[in-house]
Amino acid sequence: MPVSIFDLFTIGIGPSSSHTVGPMRAARRFVANLDSAQLALLRRIRVELFGSLAATGPGHGTPKAVVLGLVGEEPETVDPDVADQIAEEVRRRRMLPVLRTWRIEFDEQRDLVLRPRDRLPAHPNGMRFTAYGDEDRLLVAAVYYSIGGGFVVEGGGARIDDTQGSLPYPFRSARELLDICDRQCCDIASVVLANELVRHSREEVEAYIRRIAAAMNECIDRGCATEGELPGILHVRRRAADLCRRLQEAPPAPGSFHDMEWVMAWALAVNEENAAGRRVVTAPTNGAAGVVPAVLRYYTTFVPGADDDGVRRFLLTATAIGSLCKENASISGAEVGCQGEIGSACAMAAGGLAAALGATPAQVENAAEIGLEHNLGLTCDPVAGLVQIPCIERNGLAAVKAIAAARLALRGDGRHRVSLDQAIATMRDIGRDMKTKYKETSRGGLAATVSVDLTEC
């Protein structure tokens, strides 16, 4: 079933949708599901993080996110300026205000357990929450999986927030989507919009698109205005602000890469904000959150005649492509490597831009396929478990690649040899064959060859 724009693009905080946003949602969901009798008896909560969540969780802010969720915070509304303080207060006092109402003892060393070598059956990003009463009497336990992009499933079952009714134009593949466009004589954005109208009014969908686009632009602007060092032992210096300043001072020269340098600066700006734990739009993940906003800003800044309708077509079309990647492969770096995050984002941005530029559905499909194909095999190997190296630059390069993919597809007539469905199936198969060390564990690739003095942690 196609994923809604309200689920694929969500506003949250960095640095990771699967390791920060998802665990925060799961923790909040667990305590919100406790009934009043259980809350009255509650004395202790134990959280176990498995697999990738445990391997790179500390660098990705997972323990902090879990604590915030137990306190009752949500990714969409938590104030990034006070998030650290809340988690630190819980740590210092060893006291957890569950949903800000019931106070229980919480010793992070004892009650938040990392199990990087163990894996729960359904997904590498597993969590188990257990609530105890007096004398450690079991009250209730639940397993959740953070399956990428901030999506959470409970115990391997259906998506928690899956409220989809029957859609007028369901599609499971790009082929089916193109057939619908052919039959209805419409573009991909119109198909996505018609499906959204089952659950929302047109005004709600359009307001949400404006909100997402505005949040993306605000994130770019904040990142372009913020200097300094990113958190963590790598001491990575922010570069977006300096890059923007230099581009403003030096007007475009013949043969320069001026427009694309701006695109890279905008993508860097978003991912620096993400790495700093600030507010970003998950698109379709946080690690890959810079690609779509940077390409959308390219459209509104450099394309003559760009307008709100183009922005609308861009984001609705990108939703269809992200949905196909998620439903037929994965958008989780822990499941299929970075191809699922950066590759999917590049395909979404390429297809979205092509649509905004007036491409036919076949050209859009071609653009998305090119965007994905040339990210196949990309591993997830964040150095020191931080979403910084190679993640930040990788967004800049993928944004430029997405624009090239859209432009290349627009030069053709939509006919091409490799279909988007085949590229997505290839991503799924490569992900299955990829060694675990290249799937958000920080045990392979750059994470293994770039030496980091962990004693500085």
Q: How many residues bind ligand SF4 (CB under 6 A)?
A: 14
- Pattern 417-446, binding to ligand SF4, x per CB under 6 A? -----------------------x------
C-alpha separations of 93 from 98, 228, 243, 287, 457 in Å: 14, 31, 42, 32, 22
Among 112, 265, 320, 338, binds ligand SF4 (CB under 6 A): 338
Selected range binding ligand SF4 among 25-33, 137-145, 155-163, 387-395, rule: CB under 6 A: 387-395
Looking only at residues 71 through 130 of this chain, which bind ligand SF4 when binding is defined by CB under 6 A? none
Selected range binding ligand SF4 among 158-166, 199-207, 338-346, 359-367, rule: CB under 6 A: 338-346
Nearer to ligand SF4 by C-beta: 271 or 366? 271
Among 384, 391, 403, 410, binds ligand SF4 (CB under 6 A): 391
Q: In angstroms, give the least distance from the CB of 274 to ligand SF4.
A: 9
Nearer to ligand SF4 by C-beta: 152 or 391? 391
Nearer to ligand SF4 by C-beta: 28 or 238? 238
Nearer to ligand SF4 by C-beta: 130 or 332? 332
Cα dihedral sign for 141, 145, 150, 153? negative
Q: Residue number with the shortest CB distance to ligand SF4?
A: 287
Asked if residue 380 binds ligand SF4 (CB under 6 A), the reply is: yes
Asked if residue 265 binds ligand SF4 (CB under 6 A), the reply is: no
Nearer to ligand SF4 by C-beta: 338 or 355? 338
Selected range binding ligand SF4 among 61-69, 157-165, 382-390, 402-410, rule: CB under 6 A: 382-390
Q: In angstroms, give the least distance from the CB of 136 to ligand SF4.
A: 36
Selected range binding ligand SF4 among 39-47, 192-200, 204-212, 390-398, rule: CB under 6 A: 390-398
Asked if residue 333 binds ligand SF4 (CB under 6 A), the reply is: yes
Assign 3-class secondary structure to the chain. Answer: CCCCHHHHCEEEECCCHHHHHHHHHHHHHHHHCCCHHHHHHCCEEEEEEEHHHHHCHHHHCHHHHHHHHHHCCCCCCCCHHHHHHHHHHHHHHCEEEECCCEEEECCHHHHEEEECCCCCCCCCCEEEEEEECHHHCEEEEEEEEECCCCCEEECCCCECCCCCCCCCCCCCCHHHHHHHHHHHCCCHHHHHHHHHCCCCCHHHHHHHHHHHHHHHHHHHHHHHCCCCECCCCCCCECCHHHHHHHHHHCCCCCCCCHHHHHHHHHHHHHHHHHHCCCEEEECCCCCCCCHHHHHHHHHHHHCCCCCHHHHHHHHHHHHHHHHHHHHHCCCCHHHHCHHHCHHHHHHHHHHHHHHHCCCCHHHHHHHHHHHHHCCCCCCECCHHHCCCCCHHHHHHHHHHHHHHHHHHHHHCCCCCCCCHHHHHHHHHHHHHHCCHHHECCCCCCHHHHCCCCHHHC
Among 387, 398, 400, 409, binds ligand SF4 (CB under 6 A): 387
Nearer to ligand SF4 by C-beta: 380 or 424? 380
Asked if residue 382 binds ligand SF4 (CB under 6 A), the reply is: yes
CA distance 287 to 214: 19
C-alpha separations of 274 from 216, 351, 378, 456 in Å: 12, 24, 20, 22
Name residue, tokens 């800000």.
100
Asked if residue 139 binds ligand SF4 (CB under 6 A), the reply is: no
Looking only at residues 339 through 368 of this chain, which bind ligand SF4 when binding is defined by CB under 6 A? 341-342
Nearer to ligand SF4 by C-beta: 2 or 148? 148
Within 10 angstroms of residue 187's Cβ, the number of other Cβ atoms is: 19
Looking only at residues 14 through 73 of this chain, which bind ligand SF4 when binding is defined by CB under 6 A? none
Among 287, 290, 361, 431, binds ligand SF4 (CB under 6 A): 287
Looking only at residues 200 through 239 of this chain, which bind ligand SF4 when binding is defined by CB under 6 A? none
Q: In angstroms, give the least distance from the CB of 235 to ligand SF4.
A: 18
C-alpha separations of 291 from 4, 225, 421, 423 in Å: 19, 19, 21, 19
Selected range binding ligand SF4 among 5-13, 178-186, 235-243, 385-393, rule: CB under 6 A: 385-393
Q: In angstroms, give the least distance from the CB of 440 to ligand SF4.
A: 5
Q: In angstroms, give the least distance from the CB of 56 to ligand SF4.
A: 8
Among 192, 288, 364, 402, binds ligand SF4 (CB under 6 A): 288
The binding site for ligand SF4 (CB under 6 A) comprises: 287-288, 333, 338, 341-342, 380-382, 387, 390-391, 394, 440
